[in-house]
Amino acid sequence: MELFEALRNRRAVRDFTEQAIPDDVLMKLAYAARRAPTGGNTPYRRILVVNDRKTIRLIRQVSPGILGQPTALIVIFTDLEVTRELGKLGNLCATIDAGAAAENVALAATDLHLGACFTKSYSEAGVKEILNIPDGYRTEVMLQLGYPRMEQPKSMRPRKGADATYLNRFGRS
Amino acid sequence: MAEEEPLTSSEYVYDLATYLLTSARGCIEEPLLYGPLRLIEALSRLVTISQYAPCVKKDEFLIAAKRKIDQNKYVVMQSEEEFTKFLDSLIKEFTVELKRRNKLD
C-alpha cells in the first residue's frame, strides 16, 4: 500500500474479530514504532507489546477507553530519567515523539490490514501495575490492535475548524 | 486461538466494578461528554448480567437497548447534539416501557 493510500484509509478502529495477530506482524508494528524520531536522538522511548489474552483482559478492565476486544496492545512509554538529557523540553518531546511512534504503528497497521485505535482513557496506575512498569516511567499512549470487523463505524466527519491550514500567514490560504 | 472461558458471576461483577472505578478516575481529567459515555457503556455491560447470574431473567427490552447503545455510542465523538438526541430517544423508549410495565396509559 502506498503511504498516501494508508493515510487516506486510516481509521480509529475499535471493534475487532477474535483472530490473533501473528507474532511476526506484531514485531513489524513494533519496528514501525521504533522508526519514529526522538528529540535529539535521546533514548527515552519504550515500547511494550502485549498479546497475552489474559493480560489484555485485565488491561481492558482498567481502561474505560477500550470498548471492543483488541487482540493485541502496544503501550508506548517514557523513561523520565532519560528525558532530563533534553532539559525541560524532554518531558514534552517524549510525549510528542510517542505520538509520532503511535501514528507510525497506526499507518503500518493499515498497511497490514489491521485496525488500530489510539487510547488514552485508561488508568495509569492500573496499567502500570498490570504490566510491572516501575516508577520513573510514564505511559504516553496505548494502541488497541486487531483485525477489524467487517462493519466498521463510518469515517468521522471532521469537526468545524479541524486542521485549518494556512499558507505563509495565519488566516491565509 | 483457544476459546476464551466464560466469566464467572464473581468475575463479571469485579470487571464491572473496575470499569466503574477507573471511569470515575478518568472523568476527573477527560472531556465532560465522556462521563455520559462511560455511564451508557456501563448500562450496556450491565445488561449482560443475565449471562452470569442465572437468578436475573433475560430481558429482551434491555438486550435491544444494549444493541442500540453499542451501535450509537461512538456518536459522542462526532456530535454532542446527535449523542444527546440518541440518549433522549433511548430515555423515551425506556419511559414508554416503564409505563407499560406499570400498566399506566
Cell of B93: 423508549
Is residue B4 pLDDT above 80, yes or no? no
What sign does the dihedral B3-B8-B12-B15 (CA atoms) show? Answer: negative
Chain-chain contact of B22 with A122 (C-beta, under 8 angstroms) = yes
Contact A104, A143 (CB under 8 A): no
pLDDT at B2: 45
| Mean pLDDT, all residues of chain B | 91
pLDDT at A43: 97
Is residue B3 pLDDT above 80, yes or no? no
Query: Distance between CA atoms of A73 and A51, rounded to whole angstroms?
Result: 7
Distances (CA, A) of A39 to A83, B13, B104: 9, 44, 66
pLDDT digits (tens, 9 = 90+) for A118-159: 999 999 999 999 999 999 999 999 999 999 987 655 667 777
pTM: 0.85
Q: What residues in chain A have their Cβ under 8 A from chain B's Cβ atoms?
A: 14, 18-20, 53, 57, 61-65, 67, 71, 121-123, 126, 153, 156-157, 159
Find, in chain A, the residue whose alpha carbon is nearest to that of B39: A64
For residue A153, which residues of chain B lie inside 8 Å, CB to CB? Answer: 74
Identify the band that residue B1 occupies on the pLDDT scale cut at 50, 70 and 90.
very low
pLDDT at A153: 55
Q: Which residue is associated with the grid cell 476459546?
A: B3
pLDDT at A78: 98
Contact B42, B16 (CB under 8 A): yes
Average pLDDT for A101-112: 97
pLDDT at A130: 95
pLDDT digits (tens, 9 = 90+) for A57-70: 999 999 999 999 99
- The CA distance from B81 to the nearest CA of chain A, in Å, is 13
Q: Which of residues 77-96 of B touch A (CB under 8 A)?
A: 77-78
Cell of B23: 471511569
Distances (CA, A) of B55 to A130, B9, B51, B58, B98: 33, 11, 10, 9, 21
Find, in chain B, the residue whose alpha carbon is nearest to that of A153: B74
- The CA distance from B83 to the nearest CA of chain A, in Å, is 14
Please report, rounded to a whole number, the percentage of residues in chain A having pLDDT higher than 90.
87
pLDDT digits (tens, 9 = 90+) for A68-100: 999 999 999 999 999 999 999 999 999 999 999
For residue B18, which residues of chain A lie inside 8 Å, CB to CB? Answer: 61-62, 126
Partner-chain residue, chosen from A61, A121, A156, that has the shortest CB–CB distance to B18 = A61
3-state helix, strand, coil in chain A (%, to 5): 40, 20, 40
| Mean pLDDT, all residues of chain A | 93
Partner-chain residue, chosen from A62, A64, A159, that has the shortest CB–CB distance to B38 = A64
pLDDT digits (tens, 9 = 90+) for B66-100: 999 999 998 888 889 999 999 999 999 999 999 99
